[in-house]
């Protein structure tokens, strides 16, 4: 597949929250240690792939947070 010509560089997803979670991903941008350290060496297509992976991690994190919430309301029955 031919690579599309890009007019603008792929910006870093860094949000300035540089703390690693238990799995080793940054809490701010969800990149791994290797992805953060090698960002400037990556090609634009590699950077887009890292951004796609970060988006998937974000979606999984949100789904896990929703599953932790109780399904039934905590209101007692009236009858």
> 44-59: per-residue pLDDT in tens?
999 999 999 999 999 9
Contact indicator for 34, 45 with CB cutoff of 8 Å: no
pLDDT over 60 (residue 1): no
Mean pLDDT, rounded, for 38-48:
95
DSSP state of 10: P
What is the torsional sign of CA 36, 7, 55, 53? Answer: negative
pLDDT value of position 73: 63
Read off the pTM. 0.74
SS3 content of the chain, % helix, strand, coil (to 5): 40, 5, 55
Residue 53's pLDDT is 97
Mean pLDDT of 18-26: 92
Distances (CA, A) of 60 to 3, 6, 17, 57: 29, 29, 19, 5
Q: Domain boundaries in the chain? A: 14-68
Mean pLDDT of the chain: 86
């Amino acid at each position: 597949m031919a690579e599309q010509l890009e007019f603008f560089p792929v910006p870093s997803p860094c949000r300035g929250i540089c703390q690693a979670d238990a799995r080793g991903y940054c809490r701010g941008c969800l990149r791994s240690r290797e992805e953060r350290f090698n960002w400037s060496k990556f090609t634009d297509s590699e950077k887009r792939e890292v951004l796609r992976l970060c988006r998937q991690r974000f979606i999984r994190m949100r789904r896990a947070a929703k599953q932790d919430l109780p399904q039934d309301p905590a209101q007692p029955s009236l009858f």
